[in-house]
């Protein structure tokens, strides 16, 4: 090998060493930079008849497509769980733990204790005053929690708007990165830095919405949702959010765009096609998906459960139970039921056996025809009782052919069994109407009322139904606040020593049963409540507690999985300072060796030229 060849090889080695040191210095300088991928020099040996030398042909950047795809998906899932757990954790703080001061079960227990005090000493002003205070505390708790839940829903709308704005910015930035990746004149270092920026942007988008990334050989990336809606390819899709303003318990999502009362999230593709992301079920992950779930499902269900408590309170105090009058017609036995005082939402309960099986029926006074079996197995029928007993009897006769149902007057409904022992047997019938006054109308009283001191009847025909949002509107009857004697004086001029009204309400709270949600088919996925008011409250507190714990556990599990993936990425992509310093020592030694060759060749050439 000649001197020229030797110096050529040494100089090429020096160049490779210098390029390697440049790459190594970038690695060390960015060892703590989030999203930085370790770089290495791609060195190729060239052989010829007279020499062998090395050349660099670019920079390799550590990247694993499968690992990056898994990471992107986990980022979306973790962000989705994280935002939901964050809101629910706050909600638990507002609801309070079971038995804690201010929690729903504690406030209700205080009301029950206060009623027991009236039953023991109805003439005692302090006992009655404490009962009114306990009732006000119950109302204030329901009002406060309703306001809190609606405030949290409003907060989700604000975050949705912010996320939509940020998403548009990140997608536009990614589009610019894609355009710059097509610049063939870019240096290897600049290209690697641009790829790092690309991956950071994809990760940021994944935090907001579930995405699938298609990493291409030219360094560009295409994005679409898991459901297949394109976000970024040849053009950029644009997110938009149309706010609904202030949200209330009546502000609910509806698939009919003309009826929905919450903010709309849509996506417009480069071709001009607009997709409603919520109605079409596009959002399957990410923080945006979690916020939509909170706004339209989780917090709405929490409000509905508060409304169940409020409705149960009002009905337990104000419901007048009237047992059906037993009648016999030949061998047939049954009951006459008075419909005179039935108001919208009031109901009739009757039980009969057929073929040895007991069957329970609830007839609800409503102009909206319904017929379903609730969560407790009771058949619920919507029937317009305002049309009179005759119309009601005609309708019911077709529904219950084994019973004899007729009218014996405009407001009197008669239900008889078939008179044949073992076939059908009518066991009980009771009408439940709402008290029409505080005195002279029975033991029931309208302590808990709706807006304007109006009675709560659980009217299903209003829009929205009266129960919806009732927890935000419930209040104490102003007449009772002004004169707490009405808690015991159910007759004008009655004695203050009469505990009958207090005993009646206590019995109602223990025996009156409630079932949440109406038709189970319309409430798929919701927790069904059933039992007396105390049991319903316990179920709600327990459900919310378990739901919150489950959300937090899910968040922690997904975060642990994400941390594991990040550790694996750090192993594959990250910079190991010890390894880089060891490599630096190798480069220094190689540089010194190549420099020595150059020096020796120079000395030999100098000597050669001097000898001539």
Q: Please give the pLDDT value at position 156.
A: 97
Q: 420-457, pLDDT tens digit by residue?
A: 766 889 999 999 999 988 998 899 999 999 999 999 99
pLDDT range class, residue 6, cuts 50, 70, 90 = low
Q: Please give the pLDDT value at position 581.
A: 73
> 3-class secondary structure for 295-335?
HHHHHHHHHHHHHHHHHHHHHHHHEEEEECEEEEECCEEEE
Q: Which of 82-91, 421-430, 520-529 has the lowest mean pLDDT?
A: 520-529
> 3-class secondary structure for 114-173?
HHHHHHHCCCCHHHHHHHHHHHHHHHHHHHHHHHHHHHHHHHHHHHHHHHHHHHHHHHHH
Q: Where are the beta strands (DSSP E) in 417-491?
A: 424-434, 448-449, 475-476
> 292 or 193: whose pLDDT is higher?
292
Q: Please give the pLDDT value at position 36.
A: 84
pTM: 0.88
Computed from CA positions of residues 438, 467, 146, 315, in that sequence, does the dihedral angle turn out positive or negative? positive
Q: 163-190, pLDDT tens digit by residue?
A: 999 999 999 999 999 999 888 778 878 8
Residue 357 pLDDT > 60: yes
Two structure tokens written together for 555: 């968040």
Residue 49 pLDDT > 70: no
Residue 335 pLDDT > 70: yes
Tracing tokens 């010890």 back to the chain, one arrives at: 578
Q: Please give the pLDDT value at position 10.
A: 65
Q: For the chain, how long is the longest CA-to-CA vector?
A: 147
Residue whose C-alpha is closest to residue 25's, from 15, 34, 35, 17: 17
- Kindly state the percentage of the chain with pLDDT values over 90: 67
Q: Please give the pLDDT value at position 50.
A: 60
Q: 24-48, pLDDT tens digit by residue?
A: 677 677 777 777 887 777 666 666 6
d(C-alpha 22, C-alpha 39), whole Å: 10
Residue 1 pLDDT > 60: no
d(C-alpha 132, C-alpha 317), whole Å: 13
Q: Is the peptide bond before 464 cis (omega within 30 degrees of 0)?
A: yes
């Amino acid at each position: 090998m000649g001197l020229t060849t030797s110096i050529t090889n040494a100089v090429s080695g020096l160049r490779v060493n210098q390029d390697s040191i440049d790459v190594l210095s970038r690695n060390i300088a960015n060892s703590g930079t989030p999203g930085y991928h370790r770089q290495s020099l791609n060195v190729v040996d060239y052989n010829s008849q007279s020499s062998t030398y090395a050349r660099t042909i670019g920079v390799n950047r550590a990247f694993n497509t499968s690992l990056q795809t898994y990471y992107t998906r986990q980022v979306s899932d973790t962000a989705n769980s994280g935002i939901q757990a964050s809101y629910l954790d706050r909600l638990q703080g507002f609801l309070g733990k079971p038995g804690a001061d201010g929690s729903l079960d504690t406030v209700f227990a205080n009301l029950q204790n206060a009623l027991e005090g009236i039953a023991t000493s109805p003439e005692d002003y302090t006992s009655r005053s404490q009962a009114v205070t306990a009732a006000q505390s119950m109302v204030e708790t329901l009002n406060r929690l309703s306001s809190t839940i609606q405030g949290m829903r409003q907060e989700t709308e604000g975050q949705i708007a912010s996320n939509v704005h940020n998403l548009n910015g990140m997608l536009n930035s990614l589009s610019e990165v894609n355009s710059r990746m097509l610049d063939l004149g870019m240096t290897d270092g600049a290209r690697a830095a641009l790829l790092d920026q690309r991956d950071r942007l994809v990760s940021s988008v994944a935090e907001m919405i579930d995405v699938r990334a298609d990493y291409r050989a030219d360094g560009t990336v295409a994005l679409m949702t898991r459901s297949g809606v394109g976000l970024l390819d040849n053009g950029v899709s644009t997110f938009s959010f149309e706010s609904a303003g202030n949200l209330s318990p009546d502000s609910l999502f509806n698939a009919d765009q003309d009826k929905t009362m919450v903010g709309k999230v849509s996506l417009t593709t480069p071709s001009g096609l607009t997709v409603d992301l919520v109605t079409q079920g596009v959002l399957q992950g990410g923080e945006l998906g979690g916020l939509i779930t909170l706004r339209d499902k989780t917090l709405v269900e929490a409000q509905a459960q508060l409304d169940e408590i409020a409705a149960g309170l009002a009905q337990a105090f104000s419901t007048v139970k009237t047992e059906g009058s037993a009648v016999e017609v030949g061998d047939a036995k049954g009951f006459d039921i008075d419909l005179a005082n039935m108001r919208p939402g009031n109901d009739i309960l009757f039980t009969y056996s057929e073929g040895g099986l007991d069957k329970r029926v609830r007839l609800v006074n409503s102009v909206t025809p319904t017929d379903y079996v609730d969560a407790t197995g009771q058949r619920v029928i919507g029937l317009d009782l305002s049309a009179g007993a005759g119309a009601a009897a005609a309708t019911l006769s077709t529904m219950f052919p084994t019973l004899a149902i007729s009218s014996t007057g405009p407001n009197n409904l008669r239900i008889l069994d078939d008179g044949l022992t073992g076939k059908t047997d009518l066991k009980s019938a009771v009408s439940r109407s709402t008290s029409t006054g505080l005195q002279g109308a029975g033991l029931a009283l309208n302590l808990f009322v709706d807006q304007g001191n109006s009675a709560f009847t659980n009217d299903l025909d209003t829009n929205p139904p009266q129960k919806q949002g009732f927890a935000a509107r419930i209040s104490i009857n102003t007449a009772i606040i002004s004169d707490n004697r009405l808690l015991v004086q159910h007759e004008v001029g009655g004695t203050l020593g009469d505990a009958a009204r207090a005993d009646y309400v206590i019995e109602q709270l223990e025996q009156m049963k409630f079932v949440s949600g109406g038709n189970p088919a319309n409430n798929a996925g919701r927790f069904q409540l059933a039992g007396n008011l105390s049991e319903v409250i316990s179920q709600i507190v327990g459900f919310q507690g378990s739901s919150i714990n489950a959300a937090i556990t899910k968040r922690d599990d997904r975060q642990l999985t994400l941390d594991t993936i990040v550790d694996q990425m750090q192993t594959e992509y990250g910079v190991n300072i010890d390894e880089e310093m060891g490599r630096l020592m190798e480069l220094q030694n190689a540089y010194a060796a190549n420099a020595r060759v150059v020096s020796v060749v120079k000395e030999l050439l100098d000597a050669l030229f001097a000898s001539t």
